[in-house]
Amino acid sequence: MSKVRIYTTPTCPFCARAKKYLMEKGVGFEEVNVAVDREGLKALREKSKQIGVPVLEIDGKIIIGFNKEKVDIALSDLLSE
């Protein structure tokens, strides 16, 4: 199981940016398209208390929205393990 998960929808431009950013950094991730995955949407709500996307889960840390600084901090914590 990937330690990086991103909750997305197909039409979300910030989701596309977040995925591109992770790919550019060479970070593998699991994508959960909450537009079609009802269980994924339920998990998103439980973890972030909202339904907006993107939401990134990096090694258990939740990042709401696409914030490069927060993503970089969470990734550095993950990669230093």
Fold (CATH) for 4-79: Glutaredoxin (3.40.30)
- Which tokens belong to 8? 């997305």
pLDDT band at 51 (very low <50, low <70, confident <90, very high): confident
Question: Hey, CA dihedral for 31, 60, 13, 45, is it positive or negative?
Answer: positive
Domain ranges across the chain: 4-79
Distance CA 80, CA 76 (A): 6
What mean pLDDT comes out for the span 40-66? 94
Q: Can you give the pTM of this predicted structure? A: 0.91
